[in-house]
Amino acid sequence: MFEVICNDRLGKKVRVKCNPDDTVGDLKKLIAAQTGTHWEKIVLKKWYNIFKDHITLRDYEIHDGMNIELYYQGALAFCSIARCISPN
């Protein structure tokens, strides 16, 4: 068992204890339990790589003390992106 630190870069850091054989989806559920956010709205990244839910932490080489970027996916984010892209 090891600890992963998830930072949303808005002032919230979440420390989660997990196993190397846990999937990213399992990690999201542990983060959701601490933050109160629904796990399906959580996006985990490292640099520009978005982690997929069905892959294990070991496969992504996530280890003890590693920092992961935490983002929240939601309707407001998609609306603001749509306004930037639309020609109107």
Global confidence as pTM: 0.79
Domain boundaries, the chain: 2-85
CATH architecture group of domain 2-85 = Roll (3.10)
Residue 34 confidence (pLDDT): 92
**Greatest CA span in the chain, whole angstroms?**
51
Give a three-class secondary structure readout of the chain.
CEEEEEECCCCCEEEEEECCCCEHHHHHHHHHHHHCCCHHHEEEEECCEECCCCCECCCCCCCCCCEEEEEECCHHHHHHHHHHHCCC
What is the chain's Cα-based Rg? 14
Residue 13 confidence (pLDDT): 92
Residue 82 confidence (pLDDT): 47
pLDDT, mean of each 10-residue run, the chain (88 residues) = 91 92 95 92 92 95 94 62 48
d(CA 33, CA 29) in angstroms, rounded, equals 6
